[in-house]
Structure 1
Amino acid sequence: LILLSAGFLVRIFIIFHDCTHGSFFRSRRANSFWGRVTGVLTFTPFHYWKSSHVRHHGTSGNLDRRGQGDVWTMTVAEYKNAPLKMRIRYRLYRNPAVMFLLGPLYIFLVSNRFPGKNASKKERMSVYGTNAAILIMASALSLLLGLKVYVMIQFLILYAGLIGGVWLFYVQHQFEDVYWAGNEDWNFVDASLQGASFYKLPLFLTWFTGNIGYHHIHHLNPGIPNYNLPKCQKDIPVFGRVEPIGLISSLKSIRYRLWDEQHSRLVGFRSIRSLDS
């Protein structure tokens, strides 16, 4: 039941995600209202996350504009020339246990609770309002179920859902032949169709993940709601040229840690082992 509930939580987050793009409903007001509601359920402030995510769409795959809601990715040259402390920090960040077990807890339980120093007033109020709503929700459910029971159930469902969500985001932009380019050569269409994956999952996982596996289409046009993405894939020939990544083959993405500018692909630490000596 925990995993099933976590699956529904992932689907709720995809609805939240579409609401931030203003695409899930035709009504702007409906997107804003339900975006806030689903944001509380997923512990994510609507307007604050929306701003960060819009920047991610505008900079994805751009080597000169990294750090906008993406996975920290160093180039081979940067890693080679980095001081030892930076290399250790990067290796820790890229460690699967940190990335997928500790990272989700930090992002959603800590980072999302505090606005950044450059956040606008609207974004700050989004964070504080979401925090207040979460507190009210948690208090009400604790009174109904008991504090211990609520915390245990909420944590297990949230944690399982967060791990799945972070994995999805990781696979969407961390695969061997992904697109990265400097600012002068960066192209939005290429960054969308080559820099975002077509993650082909079994039907039941496709449903729970709200068709987010069609990420190449979503990045090209974030105004398309998730429920229309499969139709776009079927009806528009250019999308059929994007090579899909399967559930099993996606596991290889864990070992891709650095961008090799010479060969235009992601590589693992093992391929540059000599750099650490």
Structure 2
Amino acid sequence: MRLASSLHSTTRLALVTFGLIAALAGCGGDNVTASPQRYPVNAAPNGIAVRAADGTVFITDDQTSSVLSSPDAHAFAHYANVPTVAGQSNSLSQLSFADAGALMIERFGFGTASAVFSITGADTIAALTGPDPTRRRLGLISIGSNRLLSTWFIKSGSNPPQGALSLITYDPNAHTAVERDLLTGLGKPVGIAVSGDNVYVSDQANNDIVKASLSALLASSQAVAASGAFVQINSPDLMTVDARGTLYTKCNTTGLCRIAPDGTIGVLANDFQDARGVAVDAPRGLLYAIDRATASGGTSYVRTFPLN
């Protein structure tokens, strides 16, 4: 009898344990995907952002000059149109969420018609007046208090591009803005990332990432010249940074790299068609990356990687 009772208790414990494991495995919410995933998207994507509150993913689409959204990156739908310029190709920048939840975006402009826009809801968009439209804009990030960091460059004929990092301070109601340069001496600056007081800018023309003190740049009465590279890296593009200060950006022809705070470079993946925008979804422990199809054709993807 004692043996039967012991076996019965052991069986009950096993069933309870199995049930608990099954319940945990079936939980929804913010479980981290165990392995990298890729989701096809019918678009020519570039920038990407994730709304932390609910995990909604937003991407730009150069095919339609619009922003698309998805609750989970599995299927994207129209969110907002970005005004086009007659006779000019569509080219949109990185996306960034501002103070009150507005989604900020830039139009590249090809040297004549760049612009900065605020999207406050589905197809509710307004341009900021003030920023110089001759500056070709790609990188954009909100730093709070109605302030944006923007990367831009000017290209004249066959001369090398000349670019900088600027601060745009804007009125969210009047949609007016003023711009002042913070960091100069760059070639073709593209991505921006901020971690603590460090601001990082990727420079495609010089194949490097520069680093500066954001507080020092903001406090300076005039623009500061860039002084050397933080790291050398081939073909960097748009960037993001995680809570540990690790940067993520395109590297080489088919790579996506991570750069540790000490400058150590590692390859996260080396099978991209063309890595573009990247975004960290901290609440769900995911890194999102755009894998854009090449000009010769193919399918574009939004890809995810678990953050360790």
Q: TM-score, normalised by structure 2?
A: 0.24
**Which structure: larger Rg?**
2
Ranked by relative contact order (alpha carbons within 8 Å, sequence separation 6 or more), the top structure is 1
Q: TM-score, normalised by structure 1?
A: 0.26
From the two aligned structures, give the one with the greater helix fraction. Answer: 1
